[in-house]
Amino acid sequence: MAQDSTSPGSPTDGPTDAPVDATAAPRRPSLSPSRAADFKTCPLLYRFRTLDRLPERKSRAAVRGTLVHAVLEKLYELPAAERTPAAAQQLLAPAWAELQEADPEVAELFAAGAEEAAEPLDAWLASAGALVERYFSMEDPRRIQPEGREQLVEVTLPDGLLLRGFVDRLDVAPSGAIRVVDYKTGATPREAFEAKALFQMKFYALVLWRVRGVVASQLKLMYLSDGDALTYSPDEGELVRFERTLQAIWAAIERAVSTGDFRPSPSRLCSWCDHQAVCPSFGGTPPPFPAEAAAAAGWATLPVVERD
């Protein structure tokens, strides 16, 4: 599941990019592509999401992303010959039922009086079905046998930094060549935003290289909204440099945690941020630094917090 290339709120991401996923709770502080992107976008946003764990509104676009990811994951549970467009459409209703059961909040998005209730549920489900259908114009799933789906990949770097993330799909050829695939329910980013979109994929490539000793042959972002794909082939030197970038981001996060100083970094992306009410850039006051929650999450170096 993953981040939309342009927004902190990720309106169209799948589960990899869910703002804070309890199932992905680290055993100790770790860095994921989404959280690294948060910090780069706005350190205060990182704090609100990762340390304060402030609730965020669910959007229909984000839930649709989760639903489409679930359908594509289940599609690959079928025998290869049965992975047809019709079979995929039949997976929509049960996947939607499962989603609502796992998180009753998603059903509330369609309750009478809900903010976005203008679009009927049927139309929303049909839009998810259209994205699933478009997938078949991009790939023939009968010809693909993934090694992993929604697969956790993680590694601890020599300096102790734990990197974790969930790969939508991992394909490994008989030759050992690796392809990392990520589904996006949004449209292909403009060229200026391609680097942001690839940040997440390079993260996965780095983890896989460190774990398996193989540099992925291809990183593939599939944009189901317009049926386009962005592919990239990293090399080893690039992954070494990317590792240094992540270490620098982590060092900055550790510094911010040790001082409690997470600065807001306002940008046009604030339009998607759920935390304007507690953001100094919008006249708000952040809640007290959650030192106890941070300690419970395994942060060793914390700022001294004055108590009443």
Instruction: Write out the residues near ligand SF4 by the rule CB under 6 A.
Output: 8, 42, 44-45, 264-266, 269-270, 273, 275-276, 279, 281-282
Phi, psi of 153 (to 5 degrees): -125, 135
Q: Which is nearer to ligand SF4, 42 or 215 (CB)?
A: 42
- Rounded-to-integer distance, Cα 117 and Cα 110, Å: 5
Q: What region, left, alpha or beta, does residue 289 occupy, with left being phi > 0 and alpha being psi -120 to 50 degrees?
A: beta
Q: Which is nearer to ligand SF4, 47 or 179 (CB)?
A: 47
Three-state SS at 5? coil
Q: Which is nearer to ligand SF4, 39 or 199 (CB)?
A: 39
| 90's tokens | 């039949």
Three-state SS at 201? helix
Segments of the chain assigned E as strands: 148-156, 162-172, 178-184, 218-223, 228-232
Q: What region, left, alpha or beta, does residue 218 occupy, with left being phi > 0 and alpha being psi -120 to 50 degrees?
A: beta
Q: Which is nearer to ligand SF4, 42 or 161 (CB)?
A: 42
Closest distance between ligand SF4 and the C-beta of residue 276, in Å?
5
- Rounded-to-integer distance, Cα 265 and Cα 41, Å: 7
Closest distance between ligand SF4 and the C-beta of residue 93, in Å?
36
End-to-end alpha carbon distance in the chain:
42
Closest distance between ligand SF4 and the C-beta of residue 190, in Å?
21
Closest distance between ligand SF4 and the C-beta of residue 55, in Å?
14
Q: How many CB atoms lie within 10 A of CB 101?
A: 10
| 17's tokens | 């990019």
Closest distance between ligand SF4 and the C-beta of residue 51, in Å?
13
Q: How many CB atoms lie within 10 A of CB 256?
A: 19
Q: Which is nearer to ligand SF4, 8 or 33 (CB)?
A: 8
Q: Which is nearer to ligand SF4, 15 or 264 (CB)?
A: 264
Closest distance between ligand SF4 and the C-beta of residue 173, in Å?
41
Q: Which is nearer to ligand SF4, 26 or 266 (CB)?
A: 266
Q: How many CB atoms lie within 10 A of CB 116?
A: 13
- The answer to whether residues 180 and 220 touch, using CB atoms and an 8 Å cutoff, is yes
Closest distance between ligand SF4 and the C-beta of residue 221, in Å?
24
